[in-house]
Amino acid sequence: MQDEWTEKYRPKSLSQIVGNESAVRTIRQWAKSWEGGTPKRKALVLRGDPGTGKTSAALALANDMAWDLVEMNASDHRNAASIKKIAGMGAVSQTFSPTGEFYSSSKGRRKLIILDEADNLFGREDRGGAGAIVETIRESGQPIILIVNDYHELARKAPAVKTLAEKAFFKRLDSKSIISVLKSVAKQESIRAQDDVLVRIAENCGGDVRAAINDLQMMVEGKGELTMSDSQAMGKRNQLKELNAALNSMFGAKTLREARDATMDIDMTPDELEKWIEEGIPHEMRDPSDQAEAFDALSRSDVYLGWTKILQHYGLWSYAKEMMTGGVSLSRKRAPRSPVYDYGYPSHFIMLSRAKGPRAARNSVSGKLAQHLHTSRKRVTESTLPLLSLIVRNDRELLLRLVSDAGLDEGDVAFLLGVDSDSEQVKGIMVEAIGSGADKQEAGSGRSRRSRTGSKDGFSGF
């Protein structure tokens, strides 16, 4: 399988970062401030749209400075406990190498702590995460980089970051810069690509260099040359930049028609658009009363969306869009508009994405138990599963029987116990269940042999 080119050609040094010269200068100046000891601002926030080089710049800095790395990304839980455990362990004044060698900070040996997607903190799972980030920065004796797409969201949840951290803004790259990156990649891969093809890829990616490299790799699969005909299958990406412009016009509209028309060309359903507008209201509306009216208008649009699903009458979408666009934008009456805002990806969609794994695990358990108990999956999910999960944590014998009789696997057991599937607890349950199942099978075979032997003896007695 081919390596991902985005990783293969990730810059190894800040000098290889294309574009964003101002951000690179800020990063270098911040790194230099650590040469004389612990500076006043121990953290650096890299902000900007996805694919603009934030993570690459952080990793390149660590390479340039010969700093070791401690990383947390979007797949980690970012609650207080996990942040203190992972980031806090690295945020000490002295460091050790992976092999145990002592590194003295006074001699320039440091450990860079990177918290990727630090703005994605929400819900019970991430409780205390924002506070833990602030606490880690304050107590750290090591450099910390926070990588965010939505700086406003991070600042809202952790206001102290505004004064504790330096900031570097990464803007989307222009087509000329992206074309130079694509040419470099094509040359190193010995690919002959027409300039027109590279121009089309660069223009289609909307300033996202990572997307451009991915498109190039996808198109060149199994080929040594690219022509314009190869680019025909490349669809136009719905760019966040276009959506930002549409939402900016909508929130700034003075009339109902102007607000409605602003989002007319956005390629998404009203249900999806509603979530983006919902995410933007707290940032757009300064006055609490304006916010309340805006959310009231949005709730009315949600009523129409609900009836659309129930009645399957999609003509009601027009009423929903009137309320979510015009109703929201015209709610601003008491305070002037906030500065232009980059609209963040709706946390609603992020939560659904992060819940996909638990939902799949729940459905797996429910399906097996429904078949075993001769009932519906819905009944198991709503009534049986919550109680059963509590019971089996204190009744090992029942859990072993369910594993054996209902065919539960490691993931199912982990879901019921609320632990990781590779934990020692789950491994112990599975080993014991398999052992007891083999014993039952052997005992059953013994009874069968005795029954057959008895029958033979009985017939011989007649």
State the CATH number of the domain containing residue 140: 3.40.50.300
Distance, in Å, from the CA atom of 169 to the CA atom of 60, rounded to the nearest integer, reads: 16
Residue 13 located in a structural domain: yes
DSSP state of 104: -
Mean pLDDT computed over 389-417: 88
Do 96 and 115 fall within a single domain?
Answer: yes
Residue 398 located in a structural domain: yes
The confidence score (pLDDT) of residue 303 equals 94
Do 326 and 417 fall within a single domain?
Answer: no
Do 319 and 435 fall within a single domain?
Answer: no
Q: Is residue 337 very low, low, confident or very high in pLDDT (cuts 50, 70, 90)?
A: confident
Q: Is residue 29 very low, low, confident or very high in pLDDT (cuts 50, 70, 90)?
A: very high
Backbone angles phi, psi at 206, to 5 degrees: 65, 35
The confidence score (pLDDT) of residue 450 equals 44
The confidence score (pLDDT) of residue 451 equals 45
Given a cut of 80, whether residue 128 has pLDDT beyond it is no
Q: Please provide the distance, in angstroms rounded to a whole number, between the alpha carbons at the two ends of the chain.
A: 73
Of 284, 315, 346, which residue is a domain's last? 346
Q: Is residue 1 very low, low, confident or very high in pLDDT (cuts 50, 70, 90)?
A: very low
Give the whole-number percent of the chain exceeding pLDDT 90: 22
Distance, in Å, from the CA atom of 34 to the CA atom of 345, rounded to the nearest integer, reads: 34
Taking CA atoms, 328 is separated from 258, 290, 349, 354, 438, in Å, by 12, 9, 21, 29, 65
Identify the three-state secondary structure at position 225: strand
Distance, in Å, from the CA atom of 83 to the CA atom of 147, rounded to the nearest integer, reads: 15
Identify the three-state secondary structure at position 131: helix
Could you tell me which residue, 80 or 170, shows the higher pLDDT?
A: 170
Name the maximum alpha-carbon separation found in the chain: 106
Residue 314 located in a structural domain: yes
Residue 283 located in a structural domain: yes
For residue 1 the two structure tokens come to 């399988």
For residue 161 the two structure tokens come to 């970051």
Give residues with Cβ within 8 angstroms of 425, minimum separation 6. Answer: 417, 419
Could you tell me which residue, 169 or 356, shows the higher pLDDT?
A: 169
The chain-wide mean pLDDT, for the chain, equals 79
Which alpha helices (DSSP H) does 174-263 contain, by range?
175-188, 195-204, 209-220, 240-251, 256-262
The confidence score (pLDDT) of residue 456 equals 38
Q: What is the CATH number of the domain that holds 207?
A: 1.10.8
The confidence score (pLDDT) of residue 122 equals 46
Work out whether the CA dihedral 332, 335, 336, 337 comes out positive or negative: negative
Q: Which residue range forms the structural domain that includes residue 217? A: 175-231
Residue 322 located in a structural domain: yes
Do 31 and 143 fall within a single domain?
Answer: yes
Do 17 and 76 fall within a single domain?
Answer: yes
Do 153 and 105 fall within a single domain?
Answer: yes
Q: 3-state secondary structure string, 245-267?
A: HHHHHHHCCCCHHHHHHHCCCCC
Of 327, 346, 365, which residue is a domain's last? 346
Task: Give the closest residue to 134 by CA, choosing from 150, 146, 126.
Answer: 146
DSSP state of 269: -
Mean pLDDT computed over 39-67: 90
| Cβ atoms of residues 378 and 384 within 8 Å | no
Q: Which range among 20-29, 76-85, 291-300, 332-341 shows the weakest confidence by mean pLDDT? A: 76-85
The confidence score (pLDDT) of residue 232 equals 60
Residue 457 located in a structural domain: no
The confidence score (pLDDT) of residue 292 equals 94
Of 346, 373, 405, which residue is a domain's last? 346
Phi-psi region of 100 (alpha: psi -120 to 50; beta: other; left: phi over 0): left
Residue 461 located in a structural domain: no
Q: Is residue 458 very low, low, confident or very high in pLDDT (cuts 50, 70, 90)?
A: very low
Do 361 and 336 fall within a single domain?
Answer: no
Distance, in Å, from the CA atom of 221 to the CA atom of 276, rounded to the nearest integer, reads: 35
Do 17 and 152 fall within a single domain?
Answer: yes
Distance, in Å, from the CA atom of 156 to the CA atom of 389, rounded to the nearest integer, reads: 37
Could you tell me which residue, 461 or 108, shows the higher pLDDT?
A: 108
Residue 458 located in a structural domain: no
Q: Which range among 23-32, 121-130, 428-437 shows the weakest confidence by mean pLDDT? A: 121-130
Task: Give the closest residue to 282 by CA, choosing from 351, 239, 344.
Answer: 344
Q: Is residue 73 very low, low, confident or very high in pLDDT (cuts 50, 70, 90)?
A: low
Q: Which amino acid is it at 229?
A: S
Q: Is residue 348 very low, low, confident or very high in pLDDT (cuts 50, 70, 90)?
A: low
Give the whole-number percent of the chain exceeding pLDDT 70: 75
Given a cut of 60, whether residue 407 has pLDDT beyond it is yes
The confidence score (pLDDT) of residue 121 equals 57
How many structural domains is the chain composed of? Answer: 4
Do 288 and 331 fall within a single domain?
Answer: yes
Taking CA atoms, 371 is separated from 94, 168, 376, 396, in Å, by 57, 56, 8, 21
Identify the three-state secondary structure at position 168: strand
DSSP string, 377-409: HHHIIIIIHHHHHHHHTT-HHHHHHHHHHH---
Could you tell me which residue, 157 or 338, shows the higher pLDDT?
A: 157
Do 156 and 210 fall within a single domain?
Answer: no
For 146-156, letters b (16+ CB in 10 Å) and e give bbbbbbbbbbe
Express the helix, strand and coil content of the chain in percent, nearest 5 each: 60, 10, 30
Do 257 and 401 fall within a single domain?
Answer: no
Do 112 and 48 fall within a single domain?
Answer: yes
Q: Which range among 120-124, 293-297, 422-426 shows the weakest confidence by mean pLDDT? A: 120-124
The confidence score (pLDDT) of residue 211 equals 84
User: What does the chain come to in residues?
Assistant: 462
For 148, the enclosing helix (H) or strand (E) is strand 144-148
Whole-model pTM: value is 0.51
